């Protein structure tokens, strides 16, 4: 039997989005474009067990409303497991919380983004390393992608390669070796999802001096995130 891509579910989306278009893992699975029998989901927030890393073809870690800096037991357990998965050279893609958790697990530093919340559809710029990267190389530069986060990777793990940055986050993407990636942006989001998060964060954004109406007006559909997820799925074959 072919090994499956494991989607590690680390949280649940806003109730309005959950009712309208499903949850984080559903969006990831749709974006990957892989057959359903090639994908499994482990909801680590509710205590689901994780398989041996050698028994999965690849790993995607979803976003979450939790904070890595809260050091919740389920999160710490998942971080330790990810270290084993990296050692097994399993392909891994961490998204937002997953990106931060992966960096933390490998010795990086996570904390509040010093530039404040980053929300909306933004330009993410690939550096020279990112432009030739196995996952991101050859895509549009800048990437047009969706973001919604309060915390960021403040310092990358030793040995990590910075791949991309944005105006409000210096570490939008990193890699370790040729099989591990973290992306702060949300390749699984569509415009409706990021619009809902912008509305939910309206008062926080205003308190930071940001304009939620301006951010909402600049939200647009983009295919770049889906391209990244589909590329990752192909890397697990």
Rounded CA separation 141/88 (Å): 31
Q: Long-range contacts for 82-90 (Cβ within 8 Å, ≥24 apart)? A: 82/106, 84/53, 85/53, 85/56, 85/59, 86/176, 86/180, 87/53, 88/53, 88/54, 89/177, 89/179, 90/53, 90/54, 90/56, 90/57, 90/58, 90/59, 90/179
Query: Are the C-beta atoms of 153 and 184 separated by less than 8 Å?
Result: yes
Catalytic, 89? Answer no
Rounded CA separation 204/212 (Å): 9
- Tell me which DSSP letter residue 69 carries: G
Of 99, 146, 149, 186, the catalytic one is 186
Catalytic, 208? Answer no
Q: Token pair for residue 5? A: 């891509």
Catalytic, 227? Answer no
Residue 84 buriedness (CB in 10 A; 0-12 / 13-18 / 19+): middle
Of 25, 96, 118, 171, the catalytic one is 96
Of 128, 149, 188, 221, the catalytic one is 188
Mind telling me the catalytic residues?
96, 186, 188
């Amino acid at each position: 039997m072919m090994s499956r891509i494991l989607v590690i579910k680390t949280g649940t989306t806003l109730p309005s989005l959950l009712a309208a278009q499903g949850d984080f893992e559903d969006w990831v699975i749709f974006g990957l474009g892989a057959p359903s029998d090639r994908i499994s989901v482990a909801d680590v927030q509710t205590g689901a067990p994780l398989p041996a890393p050698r028994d999965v073809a690849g790993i995607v870690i979803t976003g979450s409303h939790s904070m890595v800096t809260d050091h919740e037991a389920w999160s710490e357990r998942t971080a330790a497991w990810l270290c084993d998965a990296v050692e097994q050279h399993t392909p891994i893609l961490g998204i937002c919380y997953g990106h931060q958790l992966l960096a933390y697990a490998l010795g990086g530093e996570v904390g509040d983004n010093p530039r404040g919340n980053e929300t909306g559809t933004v330009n993410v710029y690939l550096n020279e390393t990112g432009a030739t990267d196995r996952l991101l190389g050859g895509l549009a530069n800048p990437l047009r992608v969706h973001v919604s986060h309060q915390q960021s990777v403040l310092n990358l793990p030793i040995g990590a390669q910075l791949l991309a940055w944005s105006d409000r986050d210096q570490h939008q993407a990193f890699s370790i070796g040729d099989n591990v990636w973290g992306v702060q942006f949300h390749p699984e989001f569509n415009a409706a999802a990021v619009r809902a998060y912008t509305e939910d964060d309206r008062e926080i954004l205003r308190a930071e001096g940001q304009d939620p109406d301006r951010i909402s007006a600049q939200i647009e559909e983009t295919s770049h995130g889906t391209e990244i997820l589909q590329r990752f799925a192909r890397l697990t074959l």
